[in-house]
Amino acid sequence: MYFISRMMNPEEKQSYRLQQVNVILKTLCLEKLGFDFLLLKSLFVTKYLHAVVDSLVCSQIYYFTFS
């Protein structure tokens, strides 16, 4: 990760940091909703984590709102 960040320009570094903060905030939100993260921890290195977390958060918000 260190080598990758050294090759990034400042805009890419800022975007990457914002993505990481976004993942952390979504993770904390899901933990508050009672999700077990043993399964999702293995997905942290994939680019699909954002989509997975977004869909889980949206489905839980929908569930809590309309059930």
In tens, the pLDDT along 3-62 reads 455 666 777 777 777 777 777 767 766 666 666 555 555 555 555 666 666 666 656 555
Pull the structure tokens for residue 44. Answer: 């942290």
Pull the structure tokens for residue 61. Answer: 């918000």
Q: Which domain, by its residues, includes 44?
A: 2-66
3-state secondary structure of 10: helix
The number of domains in the chain is 1
CB atoms within 10 A of CB 28: 10
Question: What is the pLDDT at residue 67?
Answer: 46
Q: Which residue has the tokens 């508050």?
A: 32
